[in-house]
Amino acid sequence: MLTVWDWLVYYANEAGRTWWGPKVALSLILFAIGPVIVRLLQGRIRKLGLDGDDRLRWQVTARNFVFGVMLLSLVVVWAQQIQSVMLSVVAIAAALVLAGKEVLLCLSGSAYRTFTGAFKIGDRIEIAGWRGDVIDHGPLATTLLEVGPGRDGHQVTGRLLVLPNALFMSHPVVNESFTDEFVLHAFEVSVALAQWRQAEKLLFDAANEVCSPWIEEARTWLGGRLDRWSVVPVTLEPRVQAFASGSEQVRLSVRVPVAARRKGRVEQEILHLFLDGMVALRAPPAASPPV
């Protein structure tokens, strides 16, 4: 029957015939003689008769030097095994990065949003073709209440958009309400070339009529924000610009200051007044009563 001693002798013999036996033995020797050398050096330093601070400094230096040599020796002894372990660690790390790439991108996108202040809860944003009001944002995803239809619509569609934060790292974010209370809103209408002058005046008058109740408040609010950001002064009153659109059409672009949450409603009010005016222009004159 094999005793414990027999097993120890057996494993010692096996270790001696393998690569790790001598390395383990050398490591044990280093651990054994290292503290002894430190004690010998510190004893010699004490006998030099140095001042307290100098003696302590030399003792600490001697101890750190011996331990540094021990560590370097162990690294040399186990260099091959350390290299194998490091390669395994790098391989595992690479696998984790590849497997969790999207998660890391989402976390990076969340950090990007936080540090840049790109938007906050309640802002209306557009990213990668998706547009809506931000109702929630977390470390992995941002939730929007979709607004549309398309880029020109301002009605809630009833759909919920959950976008991964990774989109913020590859697509620009358009914040339509970054000035909070009031914003500048622009939209276009197309008219026939023959009537563009009358249409321009009708559109300008409609914009001024609709926006007149809050124009002063909007001018004060937006002017303060633009001054704070050192932006070149911008005309904040309603304005209309004409652009050529083919040989028979003219595009009229109107820009007005509106409350951030009333862009769609204000746009519709202006369009209704404008279209009523255009219909009146095209109406035939009333017939003269018979004499």
Q: What is the mean pLDDT of each run of 10 residues along the chain (291 residues)?
A: 54 52 77 85 80 75 84 81 81 77 87 87 86 87 85 80 91 80 84 87 90 82 68 75 84 86 85 88 55 44
Q: Write down the pLDDT at residue 96.
A: 75
* pLDDT tens for each residue of 270-288: 999 989 888 887 755 544 4
* pTM for this prediction: 0.52
- Count Cβ atoms below 10 Å from residue 66 Cβ, excluding itself: 20
Cβ partners under 8 Å of residue 177, min gap 6: 122, 123, 124, 183, 260, 261
Query: Residue by residue, what is the 3-state secondary structure of the chain?
Result: CCCHHHHHHHHHHHHHCCCHHHHHHHHHHHHHHHHHHHHHHHHHHHCCCCCHHHHHHHHHHHHHHHHHHHHHHHHHHCHHHHHHHHHHHHHHHHHHHHHCHHHHHHHHHHHHHHHHCCCCCCCEEEECCEEEEEEEECCCEEEEEEEECCCCCCEEEEEEEEEEHHHHHCCCCEECCCCCCEEEEEEEEEEEHHHHHHHHHHHHHHHHHHHHHHHHHHHHHHHHHHHHCCCCCCCCCCEEEEEEECCCEEEEEEEEEEECCCHHHHHHHHHHHHHHHHHHHHCCCCCCCCC
On average, the pLDDT of the chain sits at 80
Q: Write down the pLDDT at residue 74.
A: 81
Give the fold, CATH level 3, of 182-281.
Answer: Alpha-Beta Plaits (3.30.70)
Domain ranges of the chain: 7-96, 115-175, 182-281
Q: How far apart are CA 132 and CA 138, in angstroms?
A: 16
115-175 under CATH 3.30.70.360, yes or no: no
Q: Write down the pLDDT at residue 174.
A: 87
Tokens of 87: 């390669």
* pLDDT tens for each residue of 87-146: 888 888 777 777 778 888 888 998 988 888 888 888 888 898 888 888 888 888 999 988
Q: Write down the pLDDT at residue 61.
A: 81
Q: Write down the pLDDT at residue 90.
A: 82
